[in-house]
Amino acid sequence: MFRYAWDAEEFTASDAMGATGLTRSTTIEAIDTLCELGLVVELPNAREAGDYRKGRPARRFILRADAAVLVGVDAGNSHIGVTLTDLRSHPLSQQRATRALDSDDGPTRQGLLSGLIDDALTASNRTREDVLAVCVGVPAPVDRSGRSPRHPNGFWERMNPDLVDVLSWAPLVRIENDASLAAFAEAEWGAARGCEDYVALLAGDRLGAGVVVDGHLLRGRHGGVGEMVAFDYVQGVGGADGLGIRAARLAEDALAATDASASSSLRTLGPGQLDGKTVLEHAHAGDPVARRVVNQVGDILARIVSVLGSMYDPQRVIVSGAIADGIDEVVAAARRSLPTDIDLPAPDLIASTLGADVVARGAVAAAAAQARAQTLDVWPPRGRR
């Protein structure tokens, strides 16, 4: 009954009976229980609302969207962003902090993430007692218990420093790989709507993939499905660096190898200004060096898509993340480079429209999905008992 109330707008007992197949008495009892718990509220009847009808007006109900809050977190290597929403996933507040790449340790990350969540709650006049579900996306494989395996240089443990324990004060806690959450967001709002076989390629600082096959998100024993370390061994790719980092590096190499008198607007950039987004902007403006770089990155992307297509047979590969803004020319170049002689048909290659918030939005969607399924198991939250 609660799942029906979550999905419905306002509803009557007759509406709920038709959708759930329950008897009238059971339906009314369940609705009254949800009202007593504070999860559903009764609306004014038709006469009180000014919508007069003959006969006894039907009782109308609606989910109490403000009964609790959801927290979605994008905990990347160089940033942590927190989004606080109501139960309908309507944003209430956001907090964000940026970090230099590889600049913090596990305890520092734990404290920063917890502090940003508390700041978001304070900004919305809420407390931890109001939180129903928290979902965090991290750039690391995550197993079913919310933990990441050991990494040779400690990166995965640093990105996910036992966050499932740090956030155990919340009734429902979910830690996921960030690319998997991008896949959630693409299914909910983006290019994967209506698609059951797709890969969300998160292509920011490093490559990561959220892989959905037959409508199911793949994880693996250690959460390693979609990890891109295999590209260390793919000729012409040579690693899991993101597309933006590759564009900047290729542009630096091109400028160093080009006669200094050759025309390129990239030469006017100061130290630290040459990043992937800037290269794409200059390519769009017609800079010859930047355009050559776009074609090179497109060729690399085509190789990546070819491997993903051979491994998972997706209908679509969606380039997601902040780099997706302005990457249309790279995607077009990759489409031209996709091989036509591979055994399986090449997947459709699409640039996401969800931008830099794709992981945060996926985290909110995943928190909402868990809350929808498990609220009655944990309600009321510990602080309200």
Residues 213 and 346 in one domain: yes
Residues 201 and 77 in one domain: no
143: nearest Cα among 129, 155, 160, 128: 160
Give the pLDDT band of residue 53 (cuts 50, 70, 90).
low
The more confident residue out of 158 and 53 is: 158
Say what the pTM is: 0.89
300: nearest Cα among 337, 268, 345: 337
For the cut 90, the answer to whether the pLDDT of residue 225 exceeds it is yes
Boundary-marking domain end, from 63, 83, 108: 63
- Domain that includes residue 229, residue range: 193-353
Residues 303 and 212 in one domain: yes
Write the pLDDT tens digit of every residue in 164-217.
999 999 999 999 999 999 999 999 999 999 999 999 999 877 899 999 999 999
Q: What is the CATH number of the domain that holds 58?
A: 1.10.10.10
Rounded to an integer, the average pLDDT of 343-369 is: 93
> What is the pLDDT at residue 302?
94
Boundary-marking domain end, from 35, 63, 91: 63
Q: Write down the residue that tokens 């074609």 correspond to.
A: 295
Residues 116 and 200 in one domain: no
> What is the pLDDT at residue 106?
87
In the DSSP assignment, the letter for residue 227 is: B
Q: By mean pLDDT, which of 243-252, 262-271, 362-371 is the weakest?
A: 262-271
Residues 297 and 240 in one domain: yes
The more confident residue out of 385 and 52 is: 385
Residues 264 and 326 in one domain: yes
Spatial separation of the C-alpha atoms in residues 123 and 85, rounded to whole Å: 12
The more confident residue out of 227 and 383 is: 227
> What is the pLDDT at residue 54?
54
Q: What is the CATH number of the domain that holds 120?
A: 3.30.420.40
Rounded to an integer, the average pLDDT of 45-63 is: 66
* Distances 29 to 46, 57, 372 between C-alpha atoms, Å: 21, 19, 20
Give the pLDDT band of residue 346 (cuts 50, 70, 90).
confident
Please compute, for residue 93, the number of CA atoms within 13 A of its CA located in the half-sphere on the CB side: 14
Residues 94 and 158 in one domain: yes
Amino acid (one-letter) located at 361: R
Burial classification of residue 152, based on how many CB atoms lie within 10 Å of its CB (0-12 exposed, 13-18 middle, 19 or more buried)? exposed
Mean pLDDT of the chain: 90
Report the domain count for the chain: 3
> What is the pLDDT at residue 99?
77
Rounded to an integer, the average pLDDT of 121-131 is: 96
Residues 256 and 320 in one domain: yes
Is residue 112 within 8 A of residue 104, CB to CB? The reply is yes
Rounded to an integer, the average pLDDT of 215-238 is: 90
> What is the pLDDT at residue 382?
64
% of the chain with per-residue pLDDT over 70: 93
Is residue 30 within 8 A of residue 1, CB to CB? The reply is yes
Residues 235 and 329 in one domain: yes
For the cut 90, the answer to whether the pLDDT of residue 130 exceeds it is yes
> What is the pLDDT at residue 297?
95
Give the pLDDT band of residue 384 (cuts 50, 70, 90).
low
Rounded to an integer, the average pLDDT of 315-322 is: 94
For the cut 80, the answer to whether the pLDDT of residue 278 exceeds it is yes
> What is the pLDDT at residue 143?
95
Q: In sequence order, what E strands does the chain have?
A: 11-12, 40-43, 60-63, 69-75, 79-85, 91-98, 131-138, 172-177, 198-203, 207-213, 216-217, 316-320, 348-351
Give the pLDDT band of residue 58 (cuts 50, 70, 90).
confident
Give the pLDDT band of residue 9 (cuts 50, 70, 90).
confident
Kindly state the tokens that stand for 371: 């809350």
> What is the pLDDT at residue 87?
96
> What is the pLDDT at residue 190?
93
Give the pLDDT band of residue 34 (cuts 50, 70, 90).
very high
- Sign for the pseudo-dihedral over CA of 126, 128, 130, 134: positive
Residues 226 and 287 in one domain: yes
Spatial separation of the C-alpha atoms in residues 363 and 128, rounded to whole Å: 18
Residues 119 and 197 in one domain: no
% of the chain with per-residue pLDDT over 90: 65
> What is the pLDDT at residue 383?
59
Boundary-marking domain end, from 16, 46, 63: 63
* Distances 278 to 61, 265, 293 between C-alpha atoms, Å: 51, 11, 12
Give the pLDDT band of residue 56 (cuts 50, 70, 90).
low
Give the pLDDT band of residue 314 (cuts 50, 70, 90).
very high
Residues 254 and 362 in one domain: no
Spatial separation of the C-alpha atoms in residues 335 and 141, rounded to whole Å: 29
